[in-house]
Structure 1
Amino acid sequence: MIKGFLMFVCSLIFFLFFNERVKVVQRASAVLVGPGYYVAETDSTFEFKKHKYLIKTREFFDQNGEITDVAILKSEGYLEFSKAEFNKLKNFLKIHSFSKTIAADIIDHHYVEINAKRFLIEGVDKKRKIIFYSSQDQKEMLYYLIYK
């Protein structure tokens, strides 16, 4: 019981003093491109751990963490919406699972917390300032944050 309490106290101290807030400028969701899947020239892709991913959505944020623009992959290509455009559409952000604001903290080298939800870090590219992460809820998806 004392050992458990000490672990809790150490974790709390680490969380309170050692987590790192990052300023997010972009967040994207992507799906693994399977063998034989055709990717159009206009599609955005990236490679991660020797696998190719197709970007499905992108969100862009200002210096205060407020969403400014979004891009959504549809059959006709990426549809882009500015804040002025998507604010005119009822429940647009909610329907597409976008956040009005974003706050991200690196908890440790295993987890990142985004808007009070914890995600597993799959990799970090410190040179390009990208955090790749996944969600237990959507295992087929890979996400990334670009930060300052």
Structure 2
Amino acid sequence: MKNIATIFPMSIFFLSCSTSKMHLEANIDLNANNNSAIPIDIIFIYEEKILDEFKKMPASTWFLKKDQYTNDYAVNNLIQVVSYEIVPGQHFAVSDFKPDKTPLITILYANYLNTNDNRIILSDYSNIRLKMKESSFLLSQ
């Protein structure tokens, strides 16, 4: 009976630390992004000291400096990056990623061919539904 008492508290700890899988679904208009593919990056941020930097960053900056941010932050486990490329006129759905741990925030960047911010701060990464329009995108129900 002593062994069961030792294992039980550890089981509770591991269950409480689990993260849910990310589900991303997007409907893409035919004329989205001038009928060009749209790269999308989802950034899971784990470090409080870099939150403001990412919250204010437009997508154009992220994609321009993505390699450097990955070198600076991802290799040190301060962020985790998931990348997709979606094509206009398609319905896109994926549920293949689970963050290593619970992020402080999750930010989605879309690399449109314009100078808009193209950024959404997500309150819940487990069920992301997007409507990709001609020159912008939004969360949909």
> Greater share of helix residues, 1 or 2?
2
Q: TM-score, normalised by structure 2?
A: 0.26
Higher relative contact order (CA 8 A, sep 6+): 2
> As a proportion of its length, which structure holds more strand?
1
